[in-house]
Chain A
Amino acid sequence: MYGFEALTFNVDGGYLEAIVRGHRAGLLTASDYNNLCQCENLDDIKMHLSATEYGPYLQNEPSPLHTTTIVEKCTLKLVDEYKHMLCQATEPLSTFLEYITYGHMIDNVVLIVTGTLHERDVHELLEKCHPLGMFDSIATLAVAQNMRELYRLVLVDTPLAPYFSECITSEDLDDMNIEIMRNTLYKAYLEDFYRFCQKLGGATAEIMSDLLSFEADRRAVNITINSIGTELTRDDRRKLYSNFGLLYPYGHEELAVCEDIDQVRGVMEKYPPYQSIFAKMSYGESQMLDKAFYEEEVKRLCLAFEQQFHYAVFFAYMRLREQEIRNLMWISECVAQNQKSRVHDSVVFIF
């Protein structure tokens, strides 16, 4: 299983691994979150964050702050760090790093397409896009009327092109189709990323396959829960599950026929790693599922740092930082809207 990564890893990856571990040390800790949760207004949050690594990014913001500004600046920091790492990376790490952004690309494509469908302004939509998932011709997505055009016009130039081969239909775009497209794309993306990591081998393959399997399983559960009560057929649903992960293939067969949340629960409880997640929830409840999954994911991502000489730390760091930004967004929103009692509902402590 283990090659001789320790021998040669540092030649190319050592510097960046050090960088990413340094960044990881800058993640907010539980005490930071405790302090943040006690903030009275957004200025307090800014004040607290100015003592952290976010300081320089928020320093020059004039005083009436908005949640969006905070989130925007925090994301900017993540993007700056990512770009710095990408610039320094050599093959195959640079490809690995690029793979991390494809998920955002898919989300952005879906966001723009849905937005244009509902006749929103393209520039307004572009501002909402995640900066990591930007590509040159993203704004042109608004032109496309159906999926075939979407592919032919824009996406053929992007790294997403190969993933599209599975979902080209000339159907017009509507909400349902877009959602299916998103899931198909995600499926193809995850499978591709998984294959890529397996090709890299060593500790990277081992840890990434764990992380990606978790991601795939979580998506499978989400797809199932979201498609309950829609007109999506079982076969179609089955097609959206990624072809790897802990649930593959038998779990998928069972999930495909689920009709309500308790059946999903029944399926998932057969798998020991997921038992604990579902054990926390009472029957028939699905609200807290997201948080439970996030917590589990964060736990796994943190574990990725326990081992050295592999690329999964980059993936883990990006994900952790994104989770942190989600946390900050939630806290800021709660503070801004005076809903401090709900602050703990969706914050996932990283350490």
Chain B
Amino acid sequence: MGEVRGGGGGCCPPMNLFRSEPMQLVQLIIPMESAHVTVSYLGDLGLLQFKDLNADKSPFQRTYAAQIKKSGEMARRLRFFKDQMLKAGFSPKKSATQADINIDDLEVKLAEIEAELVEINANGEKLQRAYNELVEYKLVLQKASEFFHSARSSAAEQQSEYASRQIGEESLDTPLLLEQEMSTDSSKQVKLGFITGLVPRQKYMAFERILFRATRGNVFLRQAVVEDPVTDPISGEKVEKNVFVVFYSGERAKNKILKICEAFGANRYPFSEDLNKQDHLVTEVSGRLSELKTTIDVGLLQRDNLLQTIGDQFEQWEFLVRKEKSIYHTLNMLSLDVTKKCLVAEGWSPVFGTKLIQDALQRASFDSNSQVGAIFQVLQTKELPPTYFRTNKFTSPFQEIVDAYGVAKYQEANPTVYTIVTFPFLFAVMFGDWGHGICLLLATLFLIIREKKFSSQKLGDIMEMMFGGRYCILMMALFSIYTGLIYNEFFSVPFELFAPSAYACRDLSCRDSTTMGLIKVRPTYPFGVDPVWHGSRSELPFLNSLKMKMSILLGVAQMNLGIILSYCNAKFFRNGVNVWFQFIPQLIFLNSLFGYLSLLILVKWSTGSKADLYHVMIYMFLSPTDDLGENQLFAGQKTLQLVLLLLAFVAVPWMLIPKPFILKKQHQDRHQGHSYTLLESSEDNFQLGANHDSHDHEEFEFSEVFVHQLIHTIEFVLGSVSNTASYLRLWALSLAHSELSSVFYDKLLMLAWGYNNVIILIVGIIVFICATVGVLLVMETLSAFLHALRLHWVEFQNKFYEGDGYKFYPFSFAWTGDEDELSL
């Protein structure tokens, strides 16, 4: 929340939301020794936006580059701790005790802890590596002895067979090669060597292929799959591996195989043929494994303890480091005085903050035992100040809606004030259903009630957006309940809420046919649409005509509001030209055409006339002098029309021609008087100066200004037609919404109901709920939201809103907290 003071909770903000806060450019001269404290206090205050006075210097040439490096290093250490904690499954806790800690001490401490942690990790890794190697060795021993066993048994069989035929048998060296061995001449028999080890399964195929190629097939390779992934001793990652045994003959082949093993990252382990030795090895390895295991566990425990202590204070450290870094970043933006004894800061602050800033400066110089206090002075400038609205949690979503289009120019009329009401209202016009409204209300109430909990935790992207706009959604829900009651829609079921329907059937045949057969039996339905319209054949024509006319009324009203706001702006900036040659003709033009249409609608509603308004409007242009005939709504209408038409035609050149000429004249006057007039030291000059800044410096290009004005005029004239038509989307979306909900109700729920079958009914209800939530509550909300947004951005704001300002971003520690963890 950007709220600074006041305006909290439910209290409505003072009208200062209409104009952005008055700002001033201030200069601070801060003695070197108290600079750090001062900036820190100003950051706590959060009311000053520092200007970068060293923009031309690269980051490492600035005054405090070394300190930034230092805090960057600390941030890196903290990231390292965080990483380690994540790996070990700890999460940094909020520490209850806020131990007071100095940043210099912290630096030393962090370095110590890092060194300790690194050492523990290194030891642990060494042990782990030894452990993993032993595990692999054990696997090799197991698997390889299986090979030898199976081979030996099969060899023994063959041997006994063979022995029966041949006498004088030597002991077998490698039973696996028995067949070949035996078939060759026994004198040629050579001692075969073998290598055992583990190779990653992914690489096994390539390994086998290369072995084959390198030795031209003169190897014998056996492999077995290790079922569970093995931790690789070198990389420390879990890898699926195969145990292999390669038999070879000759020294050259051995060298080649060794090289290939190395290249493939295959870990080799010694293996003995002797059975006894094998058993001995297995027991030895197992013994060492359990030994290592306990050592590793102790090491892990030690590390966990260390991480635990880090975790307790991590948040505090993180905050401290981040704060430190932002302070030095800010200090780097200040320029060094020639004497190198003080720093000069410039920045924007709201006028109301003057006192607070001065207080902070005083406190800072007191706390830092500085001999001279910081100097605070206001500078005069022609630069356009940043725009700063003090919003609270209720107004901020609406301000964001407006800011998304463009940040208001400094002190420009802020449409947010009106958007707070008109936005949810226009939304509700398109989303009129009090059933759906209640659903929306419940959803947003959930968010609002659990506000405290949600605001402290990190939410997902979409959730974040929903949560941010919870009060906007609340308003939208309330208004859509209201319009829903007017439309008399509740999931497209009509209710006789306020009174029984005013109409009744004359006889039984009239039901479902038209409204013609109905007679009025009671006084008019007191609020909203009479429920009897629902389901009748003339429902659509009736509602269409109602909603269409309502849309035009709302549109014309909102556009008029926009034009009036342009008057407020012109008045505020003392721009008489805009009042006389923009505001007045625009008002006349819009109202003489569409204001008149609105008047006709109102008259028609109140008198119940059957006049054709299309006809009236069209023939007002085509043949204004013709008699209106049966379309006449009131006396003197023809004369009024002629006058209005004339006014509209006059308004166009009025808008177009005088303004550029007047601007030209003003420009010339200003330049003639340039060298003679004294500098006026009044406030107004500053105000105006900001406004006319561009004119003072630029050459006045008449043709450009004229073309600009031409475009504006054309845009307004065409726009008043197209914008009015654009408001018809209110009707269209409202129609679509009610039609969709009636389709879901009739074709799903009622259809399922009609089968008289519980299962079908349940399925029907489930589908109905899904369709209602998915299509009506989610998609329709989105589309109505977007259309309301468009109506505000385009149709309403283009009448007055410039939106070319820039936002006020004060240096504040509350902001730095929002940023991503320890980035920068």
CA distance A241 to B61 in the complex (A): 49
| CB–CB A122/B263 < 8 A | yes
* Shortest distance between the CB of A166 and any CB in chain B (Å): 21
**10 nearest A-B pairs in the assembled complex, by CB-CB distance:** A139-B263, A35-B58, A44-B60, A140-B263, A143-B259, A47-B60, A153-B213, A140-B210, A137-B206, A63-B73
Contact string, A132-173, partner B, CB cutoff 8 A, digits 1/0? 000011011111000001001110010000000000000000
Q: Which residues of B contact A47 (CB under 8 A)?
A: 59-60, 65, 68-69, 72
Q: Which residues of A contact B262 (CB under 8 A)?
A: 122, 139, 142
Q: Which residues of A contact B209 (CB under 8 A)?
A: 157
* Shortest distance between the CB of A64 and any CB in chain B (Å): 11
| CB–CB A39/B206 < 8 A | no
Other-chain contact of B76, A39, A59, A137, A140 (Cβ < 8 Å): A59
Chain B residue with minimal CB distance to A149?
A: B214
| CB–CB A38/B264 < 8 A | no
| CB–CB A60/B210 < 8 A | no
Q: Which residues of B contact A22 (CB under 8 A)?
A: none
Q: Which residues of B contact A154 (CB under 8 A)?
A: 210
CA distance A62 to B75 in the complex (A): 11
| CB–CB A143/B214 < 8 A | yes
- 19 more A-B residue pairs beyond the given contacts A51-B59, A139-B262, A152-B213, with a C-beta to C-beta distance below 8 A: A35-B58, A44-B60, A47-B59, A47-B65, A47-B68, A48-B58, A59-B76, A60-B79, A60-B80, A122-B262, A137-B206, A137-B263, A140-B210, A143-B214, A143-B256, A143-B259, A143-B263, A153-B213, A157-B209
A262 at the interface (CB under 8 A from B): no
| CB–CB B76/A153 < 8 A | no
Chain B residue with minimal CB distance to A123?
A: B262
CA distance A153 to B214 in the complex (A): 6
| CB–CB A43/B259 < 8 A | no
B134 at the interface (CB under 8 A from A): no
Q: Which residues of A contact B213 (CB under 8 A)?
A: 152-153
| CB–CB A62/B76 < 8 A | yes
B93 at the interface (CB under 8 A from A): no
CA distance A215 to B68 in the complex (A): 44
Q: Which residues of B contact A51 (CB under 8 A)?
A: 59
Per the 8 Å Cβ criterion, residues 115-133 of A in contact with B are: 122
CA distance A62 to B77 in the complex (A): 8
Q: Which residues of A contact B61 (CB under 8 A)?
A: 38
| CB–CB A43/B69 < 8 A | yes
* Shortest distance between the CB of A137 and any CB in chain B (Å): 6
CA distance A75 to B282 in the complex (A): 46
Q: Which residues of A contact B203 (CB under 8 A)?
A: 136
* Shortest distance between the CB of A123 and any CB in chain B (Å): 8
CA distance A248 to B68 in the complex (A): 57
Contacts from A to B (Cβ < 8 Å): 35, 38-40, 43-44, 47-48, 50-51, 59-63, 122, 136-137, 139-143, 149, 152-154, 157
CA distance A150 to B84 in the complex (A): 44
| CB–CB A38/B58 < 8 A | yes
Chain B residue with minimal CB distance to A45?
A: B60
23 A-B pairs with CB atoms under 8 Å apart are A44-B65, A47-B65, A47-B68, A48-B58, A59-B76, A60-B76, A61-B76, A62-B73, A63-B73, A122-B263, A136-B203, A137-B263, A137-B264, A139-B262, A139-B265, A140-B210, A140-B260, A143-B214, A143-B259, A143-B260, A149-B214, A153-B213, A154-B210
| CB–CB A48/B59 < 8 A | yes
- For B68, B209, B262, the residue with the greatest tally of chain A CB atoms inside 10 Å of its CB is B262
Q: Which residues of A contact B256 (CB under 8 A)?
A: 143
CA distance A10 to B265 in the complex (A): 43
Chain B residue with minimal CB distance to A62?
A: B76
Q: Which residues of B contact A61 (CB under 8 A)?
A: 76
* Shortest distance between the CB of A59 and any CB in chain B (Å): 7
Q: Which residues of B contact A39 (CB under 8 A)?
A: 60
CA distance A38 to B60 in the complex (A): 9
Q: Which residues of A contact B68 (CB under 8 A)?
A: 47
Per the 8 Å Cβ criterion, residues 262-279 of B in contact with A are: 262-265
Q: Which residues of A contact B80 (CB under 8 A)?
A: 60
| CB–CB B259/A142 < 8 A | yes
Q: Which residues of A contact B65 (CB under 8 A)?
A: 44, 47
Contact string, B58-91, partner A, CB cutoff 8 A, digits 1/0? 1111000100110011001001100000000000
Q: Which residues of B contact A141 (CB under 8 A)?
A: 263
Q: Which residues of B contact A137 (CB under 8 A)?
A: 206, 210, 263-264
Contact string, B23-65, partner A, CB cutoff 8 A, digits 1/0? 0000000000000000000000000000000000011110001
Q: Which residues of A contact B73 (CB under 8 A)?
A: 62-63
* Shortest distance between the CB of A152 and any CB in chain B (Å): 6
Chain B residue with minimal CB distance to A143?
A: B259
CA distance A142 to B210 in the complex (A): 12
| CB–CB B214/A142 < 8 A | no
- For A47, A137, A143, A157, the residue with the greatest tally of chain B CB atoms inside 10 Å of its CB is A143
| CB–CB A142/B263 < 8 A | yes
CA distance A74 to B260 in the complex (A): 31
* Shortest distance between the CB of B309 and any CB in chain A (Å): 22
Chain B residue with minimal CB distance to A112?
A: B263
Q: Which residues of B contact A59 (CB under 8 A)?
A: 76, 79
CA distance A142 to B209 in the complex (A): 16
CA distance A85 to B69 in the complex (A): 34
Q: Which residues of B contact A63 (CB under 8 A)?
A: 69, 73
| CB–CB B76/A48 < 8 A | no
CA distance A140 to B73 in the complex (A): 41
CA distance A38 to B59 in the complex (A): 11
Q: Which residues of A contact B79 (CB under 8 A)?
A: 59-60
CA distance A44 to B62 in the complex (A): 11
Q: Which residues of B contact A142 (CB under 8 A)?
A: 259, 262-263
Contact string, B193-236, partner A, CB cutoff 8 A, digits 1/0? 00000000001001001100110000000000000000000000
Chain A residue with minimal CB distance to B203?
A: A136
* Shortest distance between the CB of B596 and any CB in chain A (Å): 50
Q: Which residues of A contact B206 (CB under 8 A)?
A: 136-137, 157
Chain B residue with minimal CB distance to A156?
A: B213
* Shortest distance between the CB of A9 and any CB in chain B (Å): 32
CA distance A179 to B256 in the complex (A): 25
Q: Which residues of A contact B59 (CB under 8 A)?
A: 47-48, 51
Other-chain contact of A140, B58, B72, B264 (Cβ < 8 Å): B264
* Shortest distance between the CB of B111 and any CB in chain A (Å): 11
- For B58, B76, B210, the residue with the greatest tally of chain A CB atoms inside 10 Å of its CB is B58
CA distance A61 to B72 in the complex (A): 11
Chain A residue with minimal CB distance to B76?
A: A60
Q: Which residues of A contact B265 (CB under 8 A)?
A: 139
CA distance A307 to B735 in the complex (A): 49
CA distance A262 to B203 in the complex (A): 52
Q: Which residues of A contact B210 (CB under 8 A)?
A: 137, 140, 143, 153-154
Chain A residue with minimal CB distance to B68?
A: A47
Per the 8 Å Cβ criterion, residues 476-526 of B in contact with A are: none
CA distance A39 to B65 in the complex (A): 12
Q: Which residues of A contact B264 (CB under 8 A)?
A: 137, 139-140
Contact string, B235-266, partner A, CB cutoff 8 A, digits 1/0? 00000000000000000000010011011110
CA distance A136 to B213 in the complex (A): 16
* Shortest distance between the CB of B676 and any CB in chain A (Å): 44
Per the 8 Å Cβ criterion, residues 783-798 of B in contact with A are: none
* Shortest distance between the CB of A39 and any CB in chain B (Å): 6
Q: Which residues of B contact A38 (CB under 8 A)?
A: 58, 61
Q: Which residues of B contact A44 (CB under 8 A)?
A: 60, 65
- For B68, B206, B259, B264, the residue with the greatest tally of chain A CB atoms inside 10 Å of its CB is B259
* Shortest distance between the CB of B640 and any CB in chain A (Å): 57
* Shortest distance between the CB of A317 and any CB in chain B (Å): 26
CA distance A141 to B264 in the complex (A): 11
CA distance A141 to B73 in the complex (A): 41
CA distance A251 to B203 in the complex (A): 47
Q: Which residues of A contact B60 (CB under 8 A)?
A: 39-40, 44, 47-48
Q: Which residues of B contact A143 (CB under 8 A)?
A: 210, 214, 256, 259-260, 263
Q: Which residues of A contact B263 (CB under 8 A)?
A: 122, 137, 139-143
CA distance A157 to B209 in the complex (A): 10
